C-alpha cells in the first residue's frame, strides 16, 4: 500500500472516531461504558479468555462480536482494546476476522496498516485531539501530569503518554525498554533530537539504565545526558534533558518520559 493511500486510511480512521463522538454529542467518552457505545453501533463486546491475543473481532453478515481478553486486568487497557476492535468494525468491513496480539497494539508505524488505523481510531475516540491537547498544555510536562490525563480520560498510563508525545503536547519522547533493551520509542515533532532507535541496550547513565542495573530508580524528573538516549549526529554531548521513569516490574520493563527542561 502506498504512503499516500495509507495516510488517507489514518485520516479516515480519526475522522470516523470524531463522527461517532459527534453522533453521541460527546466531547469525551471517559464516563461512557464502551460496551454500550459499541452495542449502539451494532457491535457486541464481551470479555473472555483468548490465547495468544488481547482482542478479536468476528463479523458475519450484519452481526459482529468483539472479544477483549479477560486476562487483562487493567481497566484502561481493556478500554483501549475494546475501542481498537470497534475501530476494525467501523473501518474494515471487508475483513471477517481480526485477531489482535500484543504487537498489533504497538503498531503505530504501518507494519500492518489496519492495525495502525484501529489504534489511531481508538486513540482519537478515547483521547480526542483538541481536548487532549488543551488539557495537556495546561500543565508543565511530567509523568505526574500524564498520569492525571490517563485518569481523566480513563486510559492506561502508556496510552496517555504515547498520545502526549505523538500529538506533540510538548517537545518530548517516550521510550519503552524491557530487560535492559529499548523496545520502542516515539519522539514528538518539535523535539530537537529525534533519533533514539529500537533494539539496543539501554544506556547505563539513563534513569531506565539505573533501574535495570539496580532494580531501583528515581521516580522524580532527573537530568540525563542527551547522549544516553539519542543517536542524532547533531547532538551536543553534555547537554541534558529531563527523564522521568515509571518502572513496570510485572513486565520487567520501564517507561521513560524525556523532555527539554
Q: By the criterion CB under 5 A, which residues form the site for Zn ion?
A: 98, 100, 104, 115, 118
Q: Is 198 helix (H, G, I), strand (E, B) or coil?
A: coil
Instruction: Compare residues 100 and 160 and give the one whose CB is closer to Zn ion.
Output: 100
Instruction: Compare residues 17 and 118 and give the one whose CB is closer to Zn ion.
Output: 118
| CA distances from residue 119 to 38, 103, 135, 164, 206 in whole angstroms, order as listed | 16, 11, 21, 15, 29
Instruction: Measure the CA–CA gap between 69 and 160, rounded to whole angstroms.
Output: 21
**Taking CB positions, which residue lies at the least distance from Zn ion?**
100
To Zn ion, the closest distance from the beta carbon of 250 in angstroms equals: 23
Q: Is 93 helix (H, G, I), strand (E, B) or coil?
A: coil
To Zn ion, the closest distance from the beta carbon of 196 in angstroms equals: 25
Instruction: Measure the CA–CA gap between 204 and 83, rounded to whole angstroms.
Output: 37
Instruction: Compare residues 92 and 246 and give the one whose CB is closer to Zn ion.
Output: 92
Buried b (16+ CB within 10 A) or exposed e, 79-116: bbbbbbbbbbbbbbeeeeebebeeebbbbbebeebbbb
Instruction: Compare residues 21 and 104 and give the one whose CB is closer to Zn ion.
Output: 104
Instruction: Compare residues 105 and 241 and give the one whose CB is closer to Zn ion.
Output: 105
Instruction: Compare residues 104 and 175 and give the one whose CB is closer to Zn ion.
Output: 104
To Zn ion, the closest distance from the beta carbon of 239 in angstroms equals: 39
To Zn ion, the closest distance from the beta carbon of 104 in angstroms equals: 4
To Zn ion, the closest distance from the beta carbon of 107 in angstroms equals: 8
Instruction: Measure the CA–CA gap between 32 and 7, rounded to whole angstroms.
Output: 29
Cβ-contact 145, 40 below 8 angstroms = no
Contacts with 118 (C-beta within 8 Å, 6 or more apart), sequence order: 13, 84, 85, 87, 88, 91, 92, 98, 100, 104
Instruction: Measure the CA–CA gap between 135 and 230, rounded to whole angstroms.
Output: 28
To Zn ion, the closest distance from the beta carbon of 225 in angstroms equals: 38
Amino acid at each position: 500500500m502506498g504512503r499516500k493511500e495509507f495516510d488517507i486510511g489514518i485520516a479516515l480512521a480519526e475522522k470516523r472516531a470524531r463522527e461517532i463522538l459527534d453522533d453521541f454529542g460527546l466531547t469525551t467518552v471517559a464516563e461512557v461504558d464502551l460496551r454500550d457505545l459499541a452495542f449502539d453501533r451494532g457491535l457486541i463486546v464481551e470479555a473472555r479468555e483468548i490465547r495468544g491475543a488481547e482482542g478479536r473481532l468476528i463479523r458475519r453478515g450484519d452481526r459482529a462480536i468483539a472479544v477483549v481478553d479477560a486476562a487483562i486486568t487493567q481497566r484502561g487497557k481493556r478500554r483501549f482494546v475494546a475501542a481498537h476492535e470497534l475501530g476494525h468494525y467501523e473501518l474494515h468491513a471487508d475483513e471477517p476476522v481480526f485477531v489482535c496480539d500484543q504487537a498489533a497494539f504497538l503498531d503505530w508505524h504501518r507494519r500492518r496498516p489496519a492495525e495502525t488505523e484501529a489504534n489511531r481510531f481508538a486513540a482519537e475516540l478515547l483521547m480526542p485531539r483538541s481536548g487532549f491537547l488543551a488539557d495537556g498544555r495546561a500543565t508543565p510536562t511530567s509523568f505526574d501530569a500524564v498520569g492525571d490525563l490517563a485518569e481523566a480520560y480513563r486510559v492506561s498510563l502508556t496510552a496517555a503518554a504515547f498520545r502526549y508525545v505523538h500529538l506533540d503536547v510538548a517537545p518530548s519522547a517516550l521510550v519503552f525498554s524491557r530487560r535492559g533493551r529499548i523496545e520502542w520509542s516515539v519522539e514528538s515533532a518539535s523535539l530537537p533530537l529525534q533519533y533514539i532507535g529500537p533494539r539496543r541496550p539501554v544506556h547505563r547513565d539513563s534513569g531506565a539504565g539505573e533501574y535495570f542495573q539496580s532494580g531501583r530508580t528515581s521516580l522524580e524528573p532527573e537530568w540525563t545526558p542527551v547522549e544516553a538516549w539519542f543517536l542524532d549526529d547533531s547532538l551536543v554531548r553534555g547537554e541534558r534533558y529531563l527523564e522521568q521513569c515509571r518502572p513496570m516490574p510485572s513486565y520487567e520493563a520501564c517507561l521513560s518520559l524525556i523532555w527539554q527542561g
